[in-house]
Structure 1
Amino acid sequence: MRTASAVTFAAKLSFENIHHSYHGKETIRGISMSAEPGEVLCLLGPSGSGKTTLLRIAAGIEAQGKGRVLLNDQEIAGPKVFLPPERRGVGLMFQDFALFPHMSVLDNVRFGLTALPKAEAVAEAHLALERVGLAHYAEKFPHALSGGEQQRVALARALAPRPAVLLMDEPFSGLDSRLKDSIRADTLSILRHSRATTIVVTHDAEEAMRMGDRIALLRDGKLVQVGTAEELYLRPADLFAAGFFSEINVFPGKVAAGRVETPLGNVPAGRLSDGTKVRIAVRLSGVAVSPADGNIPARVLSRRFLGVVELLELAVPGTDQPVRARVRAGQLPGGLREVTVSAIERDILVFENHG
């Protein structure tokens, strides 16, 4: 049975024009954004995009070269102030859980409560273990626990001091893929009960969509876009953002009479003016494939069964590259080679080509 014990207060954590360099290389380039009180904000991006560096700056493990970090509009790191990690009211949960093997589960959770008298610290640690459903494991040692249980102990330890902000660095990356979904759901439930403002680092777009109230997408140390999962998926800021949230086919094109010609048909160009060079992204799920109903002939080059869906590679007139499509398994007869294709308009995105 888990208990719902709230944090002292949920805080707003803000980054203001953060810059950071490492060995002369810029790792963070002018990032400004906020995690709102009580929300789960996911920092998403590929390796080297600056996600973990930003987390370390928030925690006080790393100092930014320029800019400010604010907690409830009070500067905690900047030109005038640099609070050490223990004075920030910020909890940090590491990627590898960092549990001490020679300490019991209870002592691991109690480790961050040094400011409290022992009896009080033990009581708080027990309460934190109850919150994650592991009170009965208090006397066990980490090696006796599964990966998922160790993850929950690490979460209990991070939440035990009741931080205003909890920072989590790829907390599910070491877990068995079959367990990830249930452990993520459990973790989210615990975070909701604790009401801590939470920033989660991940490189997995689906994980960010499952967990985040909002998502901040980073690339090469810059903030590409911040918003809800729906906003980033439906209205990506650029081709990079579009490709991070769904598999896409990409075609070059040019706007003429408000439209763009693609191998999958003629599509609206939105507000782009005639003559503009563009790149057209078509989601794999937006390529409709049928035996005879579409208007563009295509030939099946390969077909991979993936359970619920099949992944197709198709030869389509007007492009040398194979066009990829995801269709529901069993939708097309086995052995079919000649098909027709068309694009579903909601899955077509047009971006100006700045290259």
Structure 2
Amino acid sequence: MNAQDLHQHGRVPAGVTFAARLAFENISHSFGPGAETLRGVTLSAEPGEVLCLLGPSGSGKTTLLRIAAGIESQTSGRVLLNDREIAGPSVFLPPERRSIGLVFQDFALFPHMTILDNVRFGLTALSGDEARKEALIALSRVGLEHYAGSYPHVLSGGEQQRVALARALAPRPAVLLMDEPFSGLDSRLKDSVRAETLAILRESRATAIVVTHDAEEAMRMADRIALLRDGRLVQAGRAEDLYLNPASLFVAGFFSELNLFEGRVKGGAVETSLGRVDAAGFSEGDDLTVAVRMTGFDVSETTGDTQARILSRRYLGVVELLELAVPGAETPVRARVRCGALSARAKDIWLSTRKSDVLLFETQRENA
């Protein structure tokens, strides 16, 4: 089978893998005293699931991925593949024996090798002809079989990313790891390449763990999201769970731009410059941080709950970004509203806050 044959027959479906469950049990990692990068992380990626590891720089995402791949050893804890220990106190399988594929952030293609040779590089267990056939099939899955004889420098960033994906999928791994695979792409390309990648992952049915620092990217791709901070797992769940029911102010702020107000519970509510907020579930006298999403406002020039004066407005296409002076607020309130909601001449306006976009957290706990 050659590239022309594959091209004539159309895109080849992704070869189905036997998806595995990858579990981390109480994983800790340190580069030395006082240099902990992971602190007791327990987490699993279920068979055929796309799990996104999300968090700021230095949160431990890539270290956890490297431990799964066998590039790094944990200080304590275990890694299990379908309940079989592959890394622990007495076991350490080398990367080539784990049935785990890895797509690096910089794609790591060999510039002196053809695209075909790059993809078949890891197929050492197959004969030359079999490896060539599997590599061509893998290239066809990502729609690049016609580049089989070309070299990486002729490809765009998005095409190189797809070659790296083909190379990782060619051995049909049980788990595929991807370390910020779209970070090097032009912003205009990201959406399309991400959608293509997700379609290929669904087709291949491989369990996938994707590292990203972009909350929207995680929400677009993941079946579940695991949010890390300072080496700890903060919250894990579906995108809607983390967005609608964040476990902390940190989680809420990672998924939304927020306006923050401080207050104390009195009579079952907290007074803010945007009005009285119900504090059911909290105790009288509790100090709370009230977080209001920037998208949580309705604006009008005639009616509303709170008066505000526009300090600045920025046109962003579908929405406008407003900076508002609100009586009693120490800092300007920021709002993201639909374009056309206010006239070009509007200056003094009214705000109404949607209850679903107001979140309350205990101030003492957040600052601990």
Corresponding position of 1:20: 29
User: What is the CA deviation profile of residues 171-217 of structure 1, one whole-angstrom value per residue up to 9, with x for unaligned ones?
Assistant: 00001100110110000000001100000000000000000000001
Corresponding position of 1:245: 255
Corresponding position of 1:269: 279
2:58 corresponds, among 44, 48, 54, to 48
SS in 2 for 1:111: helix
1:339 aligns with 2:349: yes
What is the rounded CA distance, in whole Å, between the counterparts of 1:272 and 1:3 in structure 2? 57
Identity, % of aligned positions: 70
1:331 Cα deviation after fit: 1.0
Return the TM-score normalized by structure 2.
0.95
1:297 Cα deviation after fit: 1.3
Contact 1:7/1:164, CA 8 A, preserved across alignment: no
Corresponding position of 2:86: 76
Corresponding position of 2:4: none
SS in 1 for 2:107: coil
User: What is the CA deviation profile of residues 236-291 of structure 1, one whole-angstrom value per residue up to 9, with x for unaligned ones?
Assistant: 11101101111110111111222111111111213111111111110011122211
2:43 corresponds, among 15, 24, 33, to 33
1:107-118 mapped onto 2 (5 Å cutoff) = 107-118=117-128
2:146 corresponds, among 121, 131, 136, to 136
- Whichever residue aligns with residue 150 of structure 2, its letter is K
- Using the TM superposition, name which of 156-165 and 295-304 deviates more: 295-304
SS in 1 for 2:122: coil
1:76-155 mapped onto 2 (5 Å cutoff) = 76-155=86-165
Contact 1:265/1:342, CA 8 A, preserved across alignment: no
What is the rounded CA distance, in whole Å, between the counterparts of 1:214 and 1:322 in structure 2? 35
Corresponding position of 1:62: 72
1:190 aligns with 2:200: yes
1:318 Cα deviation after fit: 1.5
Contact 1:7/1:163, CA 8 A, preserved across alignment: no
Return the TM-score normalized by structure 1.
0.98
1:3 corresponds, among 8, 12, 15, to 12
1:337 Cα deviation after fit: 1.3
User: What is the CA deviation profile of residues 25-49 of structure 1, one whole-angstrom value per residue up to 9, with x for unaligned ones?
Assistant: 0100110010000000000011001
Contact 2:16/2:203, CA 8 A, preserved across alignment: no
RMSD: 0.9
The number of equivalent residue pairs is 355
User: What is the CA deviation profile of residues 311-344 of structure 1, one whole-angstrom value per residue up to 9, with x for unaligned ones?
Assistant: 0011111211000001111210113111111211
For structure 2, the residue ranges without an aligned partner over 5 or more in a row are: 1-9
- Whichever residue aligns with residue 13 of structure 1, its letter is L
Corresponding position of 1:226: 236
What is the rounded CA distance, in whole Å, between the counterparts of 1:262 and 1:155 in structure 2? 50
User: What is the CA deviation profile of residues 96-145 of structure 1, one whole-angstrom value per residue up to 9, with x for unaligned ones?
Assistant: 00000000000000111112111111111111111111111100100011
What is the rounded CA distance, in whole Å, between the counterparts of 1:132 and 1:295 in structure 2? 53
- Whichever residue aligns with residue 93 of structure 2, its letter is L
What is the rounded CA distance, in whole Å, between the counterparts of 1:198 and 1:88 in structure 2? 14
Contact 1:57/1:64, CA 8 A, preserved across alignment: yes
